[in-house]
Amino acid sequence: MKPLSRWSGALLGAAILAAGISGGSQEIAGIRGFRASRVESERELEQKLQSIPTAARAEANLRHLTSEPHMAGTDASRRVAEWLRDQYRSFGFDAEIVTYSAWLPLPLEVKLEMTAPEPRTLASPEQPFEQDPDTYDKRAVPGFNTYSPSGEVTAPVVYVNYGMQEDYRELESLGVSVEGKIVLARYGQGFRGIKAKLAEEHKAAGLILYSDPQDDGFVAGDTFPEGPWRPASGVQRGSILYTELHPGDPLTPGVGPNPSARHVLPADSATLPHIPTMPISAMDAAFILENLAGRHVPRRWQGGLPFTYHVGPGASQLHMKIAMDYAERPIYDVIAKLHGTNDHEWVILGNHHDAWVFGAADPGSGTASMMEAGRALGELVRSGWKPQRTIVICHWDAEEPGLIGSTEWVAAKRAELQEKALAYINTDVGVTGSHFSAAATPSLKEFVRDVTRQVGDPASKGTVYDAWRGHTARSFDEISGTARKAPKPEIAGEAPVGALGAGSDFSPFLDYAGIPSIDIGFGGDYGVYHSLYDDFYWMKHFGDPTFAYHAALARVLGVLALRLDEADILPFDYSAYASEISREQNELAARAAQEGTQASSLKPVAQASAQLSASASRASLSLRAVKATSIDPARAKELNRALVSVEQTLLTQGGLAGRPWFKHTIYAPGTYTGYAAETMPGVSESLDRNDPATLRIEADSLAAALRRAATRLDEVSNLARGAESSPAAGH
Nearest residue to 240 (alpha-carbon basis) of 282, 212, 271, 264: 271
Say what the pLDDT of residue 629 is: 66
**All domains of the chain in start order, with CATH:** 9-100+338-566 (3.40.630.10), 574-724 (1.20.930.40)
Say what the pLDDT of residue 441 is: 98
Asked if the model's pLDDT at residue 575 lies above 70, the reply is: yes
Per-residue pLDDT reduced to its tens digit, 94-144 = 999 999 999 999 999 999 999 999 999 999 999 999 999 999 999 999 999
- DSSP class of residue 466 equals H
Per-residue pLDDT reduced to its tens digit, 210-241 = 999 999 999 999 999 999 999 999 999 999 99
Say what the pLDDT of residue 599 is: 75
Nearest residue to 385 (alpha-carbon basis) of 22, 127, 44: 44
Mean pLDDT lowest for which of 24-33, 321-330, 476-485, 573-582? 476-485
CA dist 645 → 92, 338, 590 (Å):
30, 23, 31
Say what the pLDDT of residue 5 is: 33
Q: How far apart are CA 101 and CA 469, in angstroms?
A: 43
pLDDT bin (cut points 50, 70, 90) of residue 478 is: very low
Q: Is 111 helix (H, G, I), strand (E, B) or coil?
A: strand
Say what the pLDDT of residue 240 is: 98
Q: How far apart are CA 464 and CA 44, in angstroms?
A: 19
Over residues 652-671, the mean pLDDT reads 96
CB-side neighbour CA atoms (13 Å) of 547: 23
Say what the pLDDT of residue 98 is: 98
- The radius of gyration computed from the CA coordinates of the chain, to the nearest angstrom, equals 26
Q: How far apart are CA 275 and CA 148, in angstroms?
A: 7
Cis amide linkage into residue 119, ω under 30° from 0: no
Mean pLDDT lowest for which of 53-67, 110-124, 248-262? 248-262
Asked if the model's pLDDT at residue 479 lies above 80, the reply is: no
Asked if the model's pLDDT at residue 12 lies above 60, the reply is: no
State residue 94 phi and psi, 5-degree precision: -90, 100
Say what the pLDDT of residue 593 is: 86
Say what the pLDDT of residue 259 is: 60
Asked if the model's pLDDT at residue 428 lies above 60, the reply is: yes
What percent of the chain shows pLDDT beyond 90? 83
Mean per-residue pLDDT of the chain: 91
Please say whether the beta carbons of 252 and 271 come within 8 A: no
Say what the pLDDT of residue 476 is: 37
Please say whether the beta carbons of 313 and 292 come within 8 A: yes
Q: What's this model's pTM, rounded to 2 decimal places?
A: 0.93
Mean pLDDT lowest for which of 106-120, 450-464, 564-578, 593-607? 593-607
Q: Is 202 helix (H, G, I), strand (E, B) or coil?
A: coil
pLDDT bin (cut points 50, 70, 90) of residue 261 is: low
Per-residue pLDDT reduced to its tens digit, 371-388 = 999 999 999 999 999 999
Per-residue pLDDT reduced to its tens digit, 511-538 = 999 999 999 999 999 999 999 999 999 9
> Which has the higher per-residue pLDDT, 568 or 16?
568
Q: Is 171 helix (H, G, I), strand (E, B) or coil?
A: helix
Say what the pLDDT of residue 262 is: 61
> Which has the higher per-residue pLDDT, 469 or 23?
469
Q: Is 409 left (phi over 0), alpha (psi -120 to 50) or beta?
A: alpha
Instruction: Please list the active-site residues.
Output: 399
Asked if the model's pLDDT at residue 20 lies above 60, the reply is: no
Over residues 333-352, the mean pLDDT reads 97
pLDDT bin (cut points 50, 70, 90) of residue 550 is: very high
Asked if the model's pLDDT at residue 558 lies above 80, the reply is: yes
